[in-house]
Amino acid sequence: MKTTISSIIDKTGNDRHKLLNILHLLQLEYGYITEDVIEALSEELNITKSQILQVTSFYHYLYDEFKGRIVIHVNRSIIALISGYADIVKTLEKECSCKMETISEDGEFGLWNTSCIGMSDQEPAILINGFPFTDLNTSKTKEIISKIKNGKSLESIFEEYEPDKYKLSIGEQSVDKTKTYIKGPLLDDEYTPFTSIELLQTKISPQNILDIVYESGLQGRGGAGFSVGRKWKAAAQAKNKKKYVICNADEGEPGTFKDRVLLSEKPEVVFEGMLISAYAIGAHKGIVYLRKEYEYMKVYLEKVLQDMRDKEFIGPNSIFGFEIRIQIGAGAYVCGEASALLESMEGKRGEPREKYMQPTEYGYLGKPTIVNNVESFAIVPSIIYHGSKWYKHYGTDFSAGTKVLSIAGDCAKPGIYELPWGISINTLLKLTYAKNTKAVIVGGMSGHLLPPEEFDRVICYSDLSTGGAIMILNNERNLLKDVVLPSLDFFIDESCGSCSTCRNVPGYLREIARDMEYHKLSHSNYIKIIEWGKLLSISRCGLGKSVASLLIDFIHKFTHDYEIETLPEIKSD
Amino acid sequence: MQKNISLSINGNKISTTKSKTIVEAAEDNGIYIPTLCFLKGKLDHSNCRICTVKVDGYHKPACSTLVADNMDVITNSDELEELRKYIIELLFSTGNHICAVCQKSGDCELQALAYKYKLLFSRFEHLYPNKGIDTTSSDKIIMDKSRCILCQRCIQAIKDKDGNPFFVLQGRSNALEVVFDKEMNDIFTQEDAIEAVKQCPVGCILSKESAAFETPIGRRQFDKTEIGNKEV
């Protein structure tokens, strides 16, 4: 074991900040992080065992116990639940001879729930040792498991059943199962990748880039909507010479899958966007933080990066000496928050930092850093090429450009829609051929639950601001059971536990919500939901703040769906 | 040091120095903001959220927000006091804080805040967790885990000469725990242990050496004065 660990550390570097990478490799070797592994690693890195456990116990995909030789993660998102999750579970439990959250007697299979693997348009979906299998039904599931039992290699089964995901390779037309129904300036193929890089070398200064991006009105596409130009300007002004550019590909918001599609179809422009930002702020290192659930894409993305190195756009021989590497996450929704992502990249627990520290000043390893979403980087090359006015021409006065939406659920055409900001929910429902729609969730678990009366509201920063997850639910759905309770389960599972509020309140809310399934909502419980929602809003990060949002929308906007205790009428004297 | 920052707290103009937190600037001016997890000089953790104030209309933790020119801070609105009361109730209900059987009674900051906020009952159901008592990891302290409020002061405050903490986190979400790193036991001194007991705002970390009855209950710090108030 010692020699294995030493050789792994030789590869990654004997550096605490590389802990996630070291642990990933060790898990690959031993199946899980055993006590012996921790003991040996602690000697090698000269840190205590508890300090390693502190990190491993934070992440879903770092196992502290044996999880089965074939580890199957069954997606349990809202869309999975309404698309046949229960049938798949039944089949898997029978075929693998074990119940969910357990391991089969022979140790061959382990069945585990997971929150969202970014395949909402292809549910039900599962991950088998990291390989995604989607659009499952009973017979397909049976076949896959029986092939595994017959000793066929997982990779060849993956190739057979998921050719679109397996065949991601340079130059080939994407055959991704995900349908892109509407394309805009980002997804249409008008822009030829790397055209803007040529401009950098000749015509455009870093200051020009900062000005163009600022004037374009581009706002962060991960959901928060901070001005990209302003962030870059702040980082450009930071004094420290060592700076970092980080692409947030930790797409964890349930219902979202647009970053997966962008990375599998347009990785060149994402990386080009990173390069342009690096040139603008003066950074030499770029890192893509790719969520663990998307690790199957890494091989392909590395090829794209190698191609860029060969063309001397990046790498030691390139004109700006800019290099990009891929960091794999370890399964934590909260790491989508920029500062938690930085902590995670430093090999620590992914807890959000306090807000007085801005990443542009004090980011990765304490150096000035910009963290932007995949989609934000992807549009930058086109903006530089066409200019800010061109971009502003899309969208509304206060929300410039287009938004790539991931639409899933009860509609005939789930998939990707790139639309200008300012589109109403009604229009989306028409475009996707949704019928008998009862509710639409905009922005995933931390978003809004909208009733038909509000379908004239529009997707834009001043009304429904979103990272792009849209989930449609029809009249057959039980919103309490299918949406509200899973949302609370989700937040209870994903809280980092730092804030007293977010660590404790969601459990109490879930008790009240569970009770609503069988009893009238008492007036005192109604008050509790509202008050505790306020209490959650003083949590440190967006996760804690938004725990109660779907529940509160539900009790306010879907009053026909549950019973509330009526108060005795009070007559004035 | 030069007082170069001017801000308003509860409508009163005050001057203070840059690099102070709102909690410190308020304290200098006789305004008490309750805290549990706050440690002077450490900004990067504000876990209990009890110091939440309104800064220019937004909720912010006063213990990790630095003062800035022309800031408008409200520390004592009905809304804020209600949120604080909720947090105290929440911490009481999610742990076992039964003062009558606790050595820390009278020196406990959570208890003192409960008195200050006139807590008579909790609006959260009591969970009575059974997280166990760790008596073996250290030869100098015991930890009653069901009393830990996860403020993390022990983690931040007590470190060895290389900056390694003696206490570490384990798990996450509602299973989060602070544990004593038993590999560090050999270098954990009696002074460190005393400091750990002192830093713990509740009755979680207790000394094995002393039964903590040097000062009888009834004559302890918060028995004599309300928390946040100067000697009466």
Condensed to tens digits (0 to 9), the pLDDT of residues A68-115 reads 999 999 999 999 999 999 999 999 999 999 999 999 999 999 999 999
- Token pair, residue B75, equals 């520390």
pLDDT at A157 over 70: yes
pLDDT at A48 over 70: yes
> What is the average pLDDT score of chain B?
93
- Contact present, A437 and A471 (Cβ < 8 Å): no
Q: Does the beta-carbon distance from A498 to B83 stay under 8 Å?
A: no
Tell whether B129 and B151 lie within a shared domain.
yes
Q: Does the beta-carbon distance from A538 to B52 stay under 8 Å?
A: yes
Tell whether B60 and B143 lie within a shared domain.
no
Q: Does the beta-carbon distance from A499 to B184 stay under 8 Å?
A: no
Tell whether B97 and B180 lie within a shared domain.
yes
- Token pair, residue A213, equals 């991006």
- Sign of dihedral through CA atoms A410, A166, A125, A343? negative
**pLDDT (tens digit per residue) in A403-428:** 999 999 999 999 999 999 999 999 99
CA distance A410 to A486: 17
Tell whether B94 and B69 lie within a shared domain.
no
- Out of B44, B59, B179, the one facing A538 most closely (by C-beta) is B59
Domain boundary among B36, B54, B75: B75
Tell whether B106 and B53 lie within a shared domain.
no
User: pLDDT category, B42, cuts 50, 70, 90?
Assistant: confident
How many A-B residue pairs are in contact by the CB < 8 A criterion? 109
CA of B202 to nearest chain A CA: how many angstroms apart? 15
Q: CB-based burial of residue B83 (10 Å sphere; 0-12 exposed, 13-18 middle, 19+ buried)?
A: buried
Closest-CA residue in chain A for B86? A535
- Out of B44, B173, B184, the one facing A503 most closely (by C-beta) is B173
> What is the average pLDDT score of chain A?
94
Interface contact A298, partner B, CB < 8 A: no
pLDDT at A174 over 60: no
Task: Tell me the backbone φ, ψ of residue A471, rounded to 5 degrees.
Answer: -125, 130
Closest-CA residue in chain A for B94? A504
Domain boundary among B27, B54, B75: B75
Residue B80 lies in a domain: no
Q: For the domain that residue B26 is a member of, what is the CATH number?
A: 3.10.20.740
Closest-CA residue in chain A for B137? A50
Task: Give DSSP secondary structure letters for B15-67.
Answer: EE-TT-BHHHHHHHTT-----SS-BTTB-S---S-TTEEEETTEEEEGGG-B-
pLDDT at res. B130: 96
CA distance A98 to A249: 33
pLDDT at B217 over 90: no
User: pLDDT category, B40, cuts 50, 70, 90?
Assistant: confident
Angle between helices A267-281 and A298-310 (to 10 degrees): 60
CA of A503 to nearest chain B CA: how many angstroms apart? 5
pLDDT at A347 over 80: yes
pLDDT at res. A226: 93
User: pLDDT category, A355, cuts 50, 70, 90?
Assistant: confident
Distances (CA, A) of A178 to A436, A470, B201: 24, 15, 53
Q: Does the beta-carbon distance from A50 to B170 stay under 8 Å?
A: yes
Q: Which of B21, B42, B45, B49 to mutate to test the interface with A (most CBs of A within 10 A)?
A: B49
CA distance A87 to A81: 10
Of A412, A388, A411, A384, nearest to A401 (Cα)?
A388
Q: Does the beta-carbon distance from A507 to B52 stay under 8 Å?
A: no
Indicate whether this model's pTM tops 0.80.
Answer: yes
Residue B231 lies in a domain: no
Put the strands of the sheet holding A323-328 in their side by side order.
Answer: A323-328, A285-290, A244-249, A369-373
Q: Which of A528, A538, A539, A547 to mutate to test the interface with B (most CBs of B within 10 A)?
A: A538
pLDDT at res. B230: 60
Token match 């990933």: residue? A24
Tell whether B218 and B105 lie within a shared domain.
yes
**pLDDT (tens digit per residue) in A193-217:** 999 998 887 889 999 999 999 999 9
Question: How big is chain B by its Cα radius of gyration, in Å?
Answer: 18
Which domains can be identified in chain A, with CATH numbers?
2-56 (no CATH), 70-166 (3.40.30.10), 181-392 (3.40.50.11540), 402-474 (3.10.20.600), 479-557 (1.20.1440)
Distances (CA, A) of B21 to A355, B17, B34: 13, 10, 13
Q: Does the beta-carbon distance from A497 to B175 stay under 8 Å?
A: yes
pLDDT at res. A573: 72
- Contact present, A345 and A16 (Cβ < 8 Å): no
Q: Does the beta-carbon distance from A57 to B171 stay under 8 Å?
A: yes
Q: Does the beta-carbon distance from B170 to A53 stay under 8 Å?
A: yes
Please list every residue in chain A whose beta carbon sits closer than 8 Å to the beta carbon of residue B168: 48, 50-51, 53-54
Residue B216 lies in a domain: yes
Q: For the domain that residue B164 is a member of, what is the CATH number?
A: 3.30.70.20
Q: What is the mean pLDDT of residues B104-114?
A: 96
Tell whether B108 and B60 lie within a shared domain.
no
Total domains, chain B: 2
- Contact present, A322 and A279 (Cβ < 8 Å): yes
- Token pair, residue A301, equals 């993305």
Domain boundary among B75, B101, B127: B75
Please list every residue in chain A whose beta carbon sits closer than 8 Å to the beta carbon of residue B90: 500-501, 504-505, 535
Q: What is the mean pLDDT of residues A358-369?
A: 95
Task: Tell me the backbone φ, ψ of residue A82, rounded to 5 degrees.
Answer: -90, 0
Q: What is the mean pLDDT of residues A439-443?
A: 97
Q: What is the mean pLDDT of residues A303-312?
A: 95
Q: Which of A251-265, A325-339, A557-571 has the lowest mean pLDDT?
A: A557-571
Q: Does the beta-carbon distance from B150 to A534 stay under 8 Å?
A: no
pLDDT at B132 over 70: yes
Tell whether B98 and B190 lie within a shared domain.
yes
pLDDT at A170 over 80: no
- Token pair, residue B17, equals 């120095």
Tell whether B215 and B129 lie within a shared domain.
yes
Residue B99 lies in a domain: yes
**pLDDT (tens digit per residue) in A520-556:** 999 999 999 999 999 999 999 999 999 999 999 999 9
Q: Does the beta-carbon distance from B47 to A532 stay under 8 Å?
A: no
Tell whether B89 and B63 lie within a shared domain.
no
Tell whether B24 and B102 lie within a shared domain.
no
Q: Does the beta-carbon distance from A500 to B50 stay under 8 Å?
A: yes
Residue B29 lies in a domain: yes
- Sign of dihedral through CA atoms A10, A13, A16, A21? negative
**pLDDT (tens digit per residue) in B147-175:** 999 999 999 999 999 999 999 999 999 99
pLDDT at A496 over 90: yes
Residue B130 lies in a domain: yes
Please list every residue in chain B whose beta carbon sits closer than 8 Å to the beta carbon of residue A494: 173
pLDDT at A256 over 70: yes
pLDDT at B206 over 50: yes
**pLDDT (tens digit per residue) in A220-243:** 998 888 999 999 999 999 999 999
User: pLDDT category, B232, cuts 50, 70, 90?
Assistant: very low
* B117-122 contacts, C-beta under 8 A, 24 or more apart: B117/B81, B117/B84, B117/B85, B117/B88, B119/B85, B119/B88, B119/B89, B119/B92, B122/B89, B122/B90, B122/B92, B122/B93
User: pLDDT category, B9, cuts 50, 70, 90?
Assistant: very high
Give me the domain span that covers residue B141: 85-224
- Token pair, residue B170, equals 């384990």
CA distance B34 to B83: 12
Residue B107 lies in a domain: yes
Tell whether B61 and B123 lie within a shared domain.
no
